[in-house]
Chain A
Amino acid sequence: MQEKSMVVSRRTVLNWIGVTAGAAAMYQAMTALSFAAESNHDRNFALSGAPKGTRVLILGAGLAGMTAAYELRKAGYQVKVLEFNARPGGRCWTLRGGDRFTELGGATQHCEFDKGLYLNPGPWRIPYHHHAVLDYCHKFGVALEPFVQVNYNAMVHSTKAFGGKPQRYREVQADFQGHVAELLSKAVNQHGLDQALTQEDRERLLEVMRKWGALDAGNSYKKSLETSLRRGFAIDDGGGLMPEAVPSEPMDCKALLDSNLWQSIASGQEYEYQSSIFQPVGGMDMIAQAFQKQVNDLIHYNAKVTRIQQNDTGVTVTYQNSDGSGGLQQEQAHWCVCTLPLSILGQLPIDVSAPMMSAIRAVPYESSVKIGLQFKRRFWEQDEHIYGGISYTDTPISKISYPSTDYGKQGKGVLLGAYIWGPNAYEFTAMSPKMRVQKAVEYGAQIHPQYPSEFENGIAVGWHRVPWTNGCYGLWTPETRQQHYKNLCQIDGRIVLAGEHASYIPAWMEGAILSSQDAIKRLHTHIIASAKAA
């Protein structure tokens, strides 16, 4: 019976292989949507020789704005930055105990985390190939530590499989690989691949499958020392007169395929999540603070831009205090680098050409929610031996990520209790902050039963409620890229735009910095040429 159910068509097998090859397929799709493009960073980036007395006004003190401020001042420009918030960094942002966050609509959350604990509501990891971010980190002395993306001992959870009981990533990964290897071996032995492969290839493939999938000599994936060396033991080896190791029982192939849990195990294979991947020690805003040390004297905080005008000789930007107090003020410069999110910029009166205006208005902003939860103790380490990494669930919270730092520390701990996209992100955004946290605890308890008794407090950021971005990031499509992207990136009179929205690496800090470097390089070249012509 078991044997009969294993008789599968070649097409079915190849279909399954296609599923395991999800990372590659996903990568192609992501590239088409311009997600996974590699950073194109010039390590020796530097501008010099600004025409004397040339003033550049930068709008926004996020990473794009501060990159522009740092590099343009070094090049000899007179630089000033207007920033809506009372702090630099924009979405490069960390919430710690004592911080207060008021979202659109007026709800205010007071972060009650213990000292040293934090949530990065925005970017939280740096791939090793995001060279521009890493180079500024190295240059400014930002300490980095490994971010654990894949944890084989974390959980994968489906409410519809295995009675809703979370499974270990390790077991799902090993069993899926083993079962697929066994199926492929069967397909070979049943002559399913005779047309595609020579006899020699088939033998080699069988040998590879035995090694790759931990199969036995008969090409079967079953309970054994070998499979337990992948999926873990029922009882681990010990010393002295401790019990001997006992192998563990693999999951049933059909039950595993039906569970869909294997869908979660490919994400760590994606280019952006492959080891090594980093985080700043102490919170993502360590990067913002490092930039701030370089350019703080240039930044005018609490300035809400209300109008951007330009003519043949310069740029005039009107602004007011972010809290609405005081009257309108103006700042003038010869040139302007505008890094405001398009969701904000698209609402302002701005003198730019029709094509650029269309581009500014063509990019909707994505919804996303992150929730940080503080617990009385690091039970995920103490009870479940999960040190960093991510658990996946089909409940609305989507992911739980454990801190990649301070392992084994006594006392309280903060984990990322939800990282939500899609319809559930809108639904969480529409809740009160308190309800968001409550729901995150409810859903998380399905994976960790310790939640209700260990939970202390939480903070929830729905990006559509963030007052300075109205959303998470600029959501391009292949069609809108085709129609508008180049228009968005042009120097329009005396204005050039920069930010993650003006990059092919949307939502990532690398996109913001590379966009800024490219914009100011072109602007600088243009300014030099204009000065010579005049």
Chain B
Amino acid sequence: MRTTFTIATLLSLLASTSVLAEETPMLSTSGKFDQPSGEALFNQVCQGCHMAEGQGSHGAGAYPALATNQKLGAKVYPVYMVSSGQGGMPGFKKYMDDQQIASVVNYVRTHFGNQYADSVTVEDVRAVTQR
């Protein structure tokens, strides 16, 4: 009863897609990420550390903001980061195929104040993942 009320309240108050996604998360069942779209991958994977608006976060250390991030300008950089990871960040090559990596990188490079016109292709990703 309480849950129903909460969902109804949220739906009526907030129409943002991220909140809708939050209310109906589809979880992967294949042992890899099943989400096909960049938006879904961002919301269900990247958001865990980089947060809902790509704003990053701070504690004893930090997760860098993806919002208005100039490093995303060189498209090979986010492709490398997502596929291979760096420092404490795990690489996602084992859980995402090249198309998914391209999709999520393209999503981040065109949202959260990032407006990079040059899309990342599957071939671009393959050049990094070498598979």
Contacts from A to B (Cβ < 8 Å): 84, 104-106, 304-305, 322, 340-344, 346-348, 361, 363-367, 396, 422-424, 426-427, 429-432, 435, 438-439, 462, 464-471, 475
Q: Which of B47-64 contact A (CB under 8 A)?
A: 47-49, 51-52, 57-63
Picked from A106, A341, A423, the residue with its CB within 8 Å of the CB of B31 is: A423
Chain A residues positioned under 8 Å from B88 (CB to CB): 341-344, 346-347, 363-365, 470-471
Name the segment of B22-30, B107-115, B121-129 touching the other chain. B22-30
Q: Is B83 an interface residue (CB 8 A)?
A: no
Picked from A304, A340, A347, A431, the residue with its CB within 8 Å of the CB of B22 is: A431
User: 3 tightest A-B contacts by CB?
Assistant: A467-B59, A343-B88, A429-B48
Chain A residues positioned under 8 Å from B22 (CB to CB): 431-432, 435
Q: Which residue on chain A has the smallest CB distance to residue B3? A: A438
If A426-B45, A427-B25, A475-B90 touch, does A347 touch B51 (CB 8 Å cutoff)?
A: no
Interface 0/1 of B72-111, CB less than 8 Å to A: 0000000000000111111100010000000000000000
Q: How far is the CB of A525 from chain B (nearest CB, A)?
A: 31
Q: Which residue on chain A has the smallest CB distance to residue B62? A: A347
Q: How far is the CB of B91 from chain A (nearest CB, A)?
A: 7
Q: Is B33 an interface residue (CB 8 A)?
A: yes
Instruction: Please tell me if the beta carbons of A427 and B44 are within 8 angstroms of each other in the complex.
Output: yes
Give Cα A468 to B61, complex, Å: 7
Instruction: Please tell me if the beta carbons of A430 and B45 are within 8 angstroms of each other in the complex.
Output: yes
Give me 18 other A-B pairs in contact (C-beta within 8 A), A430-B43, A464-B48, A470-B49 excluded: A104-B49, A105-B57, A341-B88, A342-B87, A347-B87, A364-B88, A364-B90, A366-B90, A396-B27, A423-B31, A427-B44, A430-B47, A435-B25, A438-B3, A466-B59, A470-B59, A470-B88, A475-B90
Name, among A435, A465, A470, the residue most crowded by chain B CB atoms within 10 Å (CB to CB).
Answer: A470
Give Cα A430 to B87, complex, Å: 20
Instruction: Please tell me if the beta carbons of B47 and A84 are within 8 angstroms of each other in the complex.
Output: no
Give Cα A342 to B85, complex, Å: 14
If A361-B87, A366-B90, A475-B90 touch, does A423 touch B28 (CB 8 Å cutoff)?
A: yes
Give Cα A423 to B48, complex, Å: 12
Q: Which residue on chain A has the smallest CB distance to residue B43? A: A430
Picked from A343, A348, A426, the residue with its CB within 8 Å of the CB of B48 is: A426
Mind listing 21 A-B residue pairs with CB under 8 Å? A104-B58, A104-B63, A106-B57, A341-B88, A344-B61, A346-B87, A348-B61, A361-B86, A364-B85, A364-B88, A367-B48, A396-B29, A423-B28, A423-B45, A430-B47, A430-B48, A435-B22, A439-B27, A464-B49, A471-B88, A475-B90
If A364-B88, A467-B59 touch, does A439 touch B32 (CB 8 Å cutoff)?
A: no
Instruction: Please tell me if the beta carbons of B60 and A468 are within 8 angstroms of each other in the complex.
Output: yes
Q: How far is the CB of A16 from chain B (nearest CB, A)?
A: 22
Q: How far is the CB of A500 from chain B (nearest CB, A)?
A: 14
Instruction: Please tell me if the beta carbons of A367 and B90 are within 8 angstroms of each other in the complex.
Output: yes
Chain B residues positioned under 8 Å from A432 (CB to CB): 22
Q: Which residue on chain B has the smallest CB distance to residue A324? A: B58
Q: Which residue on chain A has the smallest CB distance to residue B57? A: A104
Give Cα A527 to B73, complex, Å: 49
Interface 0/1 of B12-25, CB less than 8 Å to A: 00000000001101
If A432-B22, A470-B59 touch, does A365 touch B27 (CB 8 Å cutoff)?
A: no
Q: Which of B27-41 contact A (CB under 8 A)?
A: 27-29, 31-33
Instruction: Please tell me if the beta carbons of A84 and B60 are within 8 angstroms of each other in the complex.
Output: yes
Q: How far is the CB of A104 from chain B (nearest CB, A)?
A: 4
Chain B residues positioned under 8 Å from A346 (CB to CB): 61, 87-88
If A429-B48, A432-B22 touch, does A423 touch B90 (CB 8 Å cutoff)?
A: no
If A104-B63, A347-B61, A427-B27 touch, does A364 touch B95 (CB 8 Å cutoff)?
A: no
Give Cα A363 to B90, complex, Å: 8
Give Cα A429 to B46, complex, Å: 10
Chain B residues positioned under 8 Å from A464 (CB to CB): 48-49
